[in-house]
């Protein structure tokens, strides 16, 4: 091996995968330190293409669209980290990633306030029928102002908001609700500390009480196998006919077919949905409902926050490839200092 070759191999940049389009400046910075396989076309990779790419790299930036499991990792001999650009990581089979000795990270905190803002926006749009009203106006139906014949909504102020899942985003929603004079109740796997309950002005109730008492039910829990269809026909049956249901958590937490039936039958007043089972496909029966506000999974979607998520994921990736502990490592047992 001549000196030149030695130098080249010594200076070899680690190879990484950027599985989806990211901001050009972030990609340029990555290219300064890494050899990058990037998917700037932004077409979700097939499982085969993902498996192949993971077999070639030492680090990968991925999103909720990439399922990382034993099959995806089948050839990933040199992979040290899969860094999710997302706080939720139900796209990760964490035991399989851990068994392969690979670190997994996510992007908590940086999106909490943006997502809580969005939850509130979706709640307000749903309760006050804003998108339905806009369609009504655009369809030329607004002939005159009317006391009773314009779309009439439900109040937020001084109503009861029920929050299912009281992590960082749930607590952010509770704090916003206090500003509207709302009565805040919540249910969570584990109860908050007295101080945290006080800071959110929130009262802990059982899941059944939450369903029965909430005027507005907001879902902010992570998706797990146990949480599949946490809200289905039996749960909706407990809700008030005047209630709204907001899902900013994950598709699969709500049984979308049951929800569509309930909305069509007037069992609840309305729903605001940012996430869907099998998204980006939306259940055709949901699309037929007028009492629903639909968004394309944009809870964290401000440019500032998406940049912060990408930056944090990159920080995790860089740390892992430098032998340091990634700041938001999920499977801490894999890290060896
Ligand atoms: C992501 C999200 O944009 O962070 C999450 O859990 O739902 C969103 O912020 C989405 O999951 C894509 O990875």
| Domain match, 26 and 146 both | no
Band of pLDDT at residue 336, cut at 50, 70 and 90: confident
CATH of the domain at 173: 3.40.50.720
Q: From the CB of 300, is ligand 1 less than 6 Å away? A: yes
Catalytic residue chosen out of the listed positions 66, 197, 235, 279: 279
Is the predicted pLDDT of residue 61 greater than 50, yes or no?
A: yes
Q: From the CB of 86, is ligand 1 less than 6 Å away? A: yes
CA-to-CA distance for 19 and 92, rounded, in angstroms? 14
Please say if 216 is a catalytic residue: no
CA-to-CA distance for 82 and 14, rounded, in angstroms? 14
Angle between helices 168-178 and 112-127 (to 10 degrees): 50
Is the predicted pLDDT of residue 78 greater than 70, yes or no?
A: yes
pLDDT at 221: 97
Atom nearest to 88 CA in ligand 1? 6
The count of C-alpha atoms lying within 13 angstroms of the C-alpha of 285, restricted to the half-sphere facing its C-beta, is: 12
**Contact in structure between 59 and 81 (CB atoms under 8 Å):** yes
Nearest CA to ligand 1 atom 9: 300
Whether residue 84 is contained in a domain is answered as: yes
Query: 246, 296, 270: which is closest to 133 by C-alpha?
Result: 270
Whether residue 2 is contained in a domain is answered as: no
| Domain match, 193 and 119 both | yes
Whether residue 37 is contained in a domain is answered as: yes
To the nearest whole number, what is the mean pLDDT of the chain?
A: 96
pLDDT at 11: 67
CA-to-CA distance for 130 and 151, rounded, in angstroms? 9
CA-to-CA distance for 95 and 293, rounded, in angstroms? 36
| Domain match, 103 and 118 both | no
Averaged pLDDT, 231-258: 98
DSSP state of 81: E
Q: From the CB of 85, is ligand 1 less than 6 Å away? A: yes
| Domain match, 161 and 290 both | yes
**Contact in structure between 299 and 119 (CB atoms under 8 Å):** yes
Whether residue 3 is contained in a domain is answered as: no
Whether residue 224 is contained in a domain is answered as: yes
| Domain match, 278 and 315 both | no
| Domain match, 279 and 220 both | yes
Separation of 271 CA from ligand 1 center, angstroms? Answer: 20
Stretch among 8-17, 98-107, 129-138, 242-251 having the lowest mean pLDDT:
8-17
Is the predicted pLDDT of residue 269 greater than 90, yes or no?
A: yes
- pTM for this model (two decimals): 0.95
Q: For the chain, how many residues are written?
A: 337
Centre a 10 Å sphere on the Cβ of residue 94 and count the other Cβ atoms it contains.
15
Please say if 157 is a catalytic residue: no
CA-to-CA distance for 193 and 204, rounded, in angstroms? 11
| Domain match, 104 and 216 both | no
pLDDT at 5: 41
Is the predicted pLDDT of residue 8 greater than 50, yes or no?
A: no
CA-to-CA distance for 68 and 96, rounded, in angstroms? 9
Band of pLDDT at residue 6, cut at 50, 70 and 90: very low
| Domain match, 119 and 230 both | yes
* 139-157 pLDDT per residue, tens: 999 999 999 998 999 999 9
Nearest CA to ligand 1 atom 4: 86
| Domain match, 77 and 210 both | no
Nearest CA to ligand 1 atom 12: 64
Averaged pLDDT, 310-322: 98
Q: Is 101 left (phi over 0), alpha (psi -120 to 50) or beta?
A: left
Catalytic residue chosen out of the listed positions 67, 212, 297, 325: 297
| Domain match, 89 and 138 both | no
Please say if 297 is a catalytic residue: yes
Averaged pLDDT, 237-261: 98
Catalytic residue chosen out of the listed positions 250, 283, 306, 318: 250
Q: From the CB of 170, is ligand 1 less than 6 Å away? A: no
Whether residue 158 is contained in a domain is answered as: yes
Domain region containing 149 = 112-294
| Domain match, 119 and 184 both | yes
Whether residue 1 is contained in a domain is answered as: no
| Domain match, 164 and 276 both | yes
Structural domain count, the chain: 2
Averaged pLDDT, 311-318: 98
Is the predicted pLDDT of residue 122 greater than 60, yes or no?
A: yes
CA-to-CA distance for 206 and 202, rounded, in angstroms? 13
């Amino acid at each position: 091996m001549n000196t030149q070759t030695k130098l080249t191999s010594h200076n070899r940049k680690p190879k990484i995968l950027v599985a989806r389009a990211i901001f050009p400046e972030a990609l340029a910075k990555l290219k300064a330190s890494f050899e990058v396989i990037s998917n700037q076309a932004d077409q979700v990779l097939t499982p085969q293409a993902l498996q192949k790419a993971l077999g070639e790299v030492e680090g990968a930036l991925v999103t909720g669209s990439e399922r990382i499991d034993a099959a995806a990792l089948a050839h990933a001999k040199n992979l040290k980290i899969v860094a999710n650009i997302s706080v939720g990581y139900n796209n990760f089979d964490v035991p399989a990633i851990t068994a392969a000795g690979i670190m997994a990270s996510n992007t908590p905190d940086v999106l909490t306030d943006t997502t809580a803002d969005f939850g509130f926006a979706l709640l307000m749009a749903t309760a006050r029928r804003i998108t339905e009203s806009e369609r009504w106006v655009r369809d030329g139906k607004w002939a005159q102002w009317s006391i009773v014949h314009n779309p009439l909504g439900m109040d937020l102020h001084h109503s009861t908001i029920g929050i299912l899942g009281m992590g960082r985003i749930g607590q952010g929603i509770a704090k916003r609700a206090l500003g509207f004079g709302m009565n805040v109740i919540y249910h969570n796997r584990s109860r908050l500390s007295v101080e945290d309950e006080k800071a959110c002005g929130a009262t802990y109730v059982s899941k059944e009480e939450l369903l029965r008492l909430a005027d507005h039910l907001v879902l902010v829990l992570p998706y797990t196998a146990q949480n599949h269809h946490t809200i289905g026909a039996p749960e909706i049956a407990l809700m008030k006919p005047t209630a709204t249901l907001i899902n900013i958590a994950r598709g699969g937490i709500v049984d979308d077919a049951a929800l569509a039936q309930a909305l069509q039958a007037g069992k609840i007043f309305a729903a605001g949905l940012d996430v869907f089972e099998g998204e980006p496909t939306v259940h055709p029966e949901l699309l037929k409902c007028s009492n629903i506000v639909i968004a394309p999974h944009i809870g964290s979607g401000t440019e500032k926050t998406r940049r912060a998520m990408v930056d944090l994921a990159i920080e995790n990736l860089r740390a892992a490839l430098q032998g340091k502990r990634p700041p938001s490592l999920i499977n801490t047992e894999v890290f060896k200092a």
